[in-house]
Amino acid sequence: CPLNFSVDICGPSVVCQGESFTLTSNVFPRPQGYPYTYSWTTPLGTVITTPNLTINGAALTASGWYTLTVSLPPNCTYTTQVYVIVRPRPIATISNAVTGTVDNYIHMRTCDIQLTATGGVYYNWTVTSPPILTNHSNQLTLPTTLTSPTLINFRVVAIDSFGCASQQVLHRVRTANPVVSRSINNTSTNPNIIRTLTMNQTTQFANATYTWSTNGWSAGPLTAALKQRTGTIAQLAGIYTLVINQNGCERTFQFELLNNATFTPIIEIGTNKIYINEEIEMLNSEDEFELKAFPNPVSDILTVSFKNPSMDDIGLTITDINGRILMDKNIGNEELTTLIDVSSFATGMYFVQCTRNSVVYPEKLKIIKK
């Protein structure tokens, strides 16, 4: 044998399932001028007679000892081994952090979507429709808005401590707005007629509860939104409030049943906002009306802005806590922002109220004059 005859194997000791890897022979003295022959034996007993060994798309059964025997005629041989571990790829899963379900889950818009992934140590998230973020935690919280898509695609790849990555997992979450309705079965002006008021919310939100209330009467939290009340118009009339709670996120809606058996529009109550829609299927993106007032508290100039897709005529009034009208202004249907000088107002609480096509909406924005 040549002086200092030796053989080493160069290559990875750990690979991920499905990856390809190569084990390279390192022979001394160098092969130039020496007619070496090579014989690799894999963990499955396969014999390969090339200087280097490549395993394509390694299966889990490719884990084990790889033996290399290098021979030099007439009777010189050297055998060495290396152990290669083929690690299984993690299996990623995504579940809703609250319900643990996927397919039939409808998420109420403006509420955060919380998802949990399992299967790895690190996670790469991608959110499509639209694509917006990537992080490395198993928890993902996505704020949604009134303009969020009806179907949001979440994708996650789980990575284990050895860097093996799972296949990409797709999770779809549907989002929708509440659809609130109210009706009365008899609109006669006869005050003695017994009639039935029917109230409902028809979007099938998972894990939601509904609470109706008016004038000291309340029902809920209910797992079904449908609720009826029976009585004379005097008994039924009032401002009705619906609070929808889904996993701790709430949205609140109001309407008033008047003594003449007619209704005011359904209004959504928000933080310093009023959403108004004349139709029963409210908060359609084409019909949504939004009113804001800021800054709040205010010392001199109050900015009132609104979104008025229908281009109806809008009027604004400001009243004090005693109901005294301090300002009554017709904005028209084109201005999106108006400035109101309240510097002469005394320190205290005031209310901004709007009209739309001469209809006065009962809900008010509360502002504080400093």
Q: What is the pLDDT of residues 107-120, one digit of tens each?
A: 888 888 888 889 99
- Beta bridge mates, 55: 21
Query: Per-domain residue ranges for the chain?
Result: 6-87, 93-176, 177-264, 288-370
Q: Is 311 exposed, middle or buried (0-12, 13-18, 19+ CB in 10 A)?
A: exposed
Q: Is 180 exposed, middle or buried (0-12, 13-18, 19+ CB in 10 A)?
A: buried
Question: Are the C-beta atoms of residues 313 and 357 closer than 8 Å to each other?
Answer: yes
Fold match, 6-87 / 93-176 = yes
CATH topology of domain 6-87: Immunoglobulin-like (2.60.40)
CATH topology of domain 288-370: Immunoglobulin-like (2.60.40)
CA–CA gap between residue 354 and residue 117 (Å, rounded)? 46
User: What tokens appear for 87 in the block?
Assistant: 């690690």
Domain 93-176 in CATH 2.60.40.10: yes
Domain 177-264, second-level architecture: Sandwich (2.60)
CA–CA gap between residue 229 and residue 242 (Å, rounded)? 14
| pLDDT tens, N- to C-terminus, the chain (370 residues) | 787 889 999 999 999 999 999 999 999 988 777 899 999 999 999 999 999 999 999 999 999 999 999 999 888 999 999 999 999 999 998 876 555 555 457 888 888 888 888 999 989 888 875 565 566 788 888 777 666 677 788 888 999 999 999 988 888 788 888 889 999 999 998 999 999 999 999 888 888 999 999 988 999 899 999 999 999 999 999 999 999 999 888 999 988 999 999 988 788 876 444 544 433 333 333 345 567 788 878 889 888 877 665 556 778 889 887 778 898 888 766 556 788 899 999 888 888 887 766 666 656 777 888 8
Query: For the whole model, what pTM was predicted?
Result: 0.58
Q: Which residues, 6 or more positions from 108, have their beta carbon under 8 angstroms from its beta carbon? A: 175, 176, 177, 178, 203, 205, 208, 244, 246, 249, 251
266-270 and 106-108 strand pairing: unpaired
pLDDT digits (tens, 9 = 90+) for 306-315: 766 555 677 8
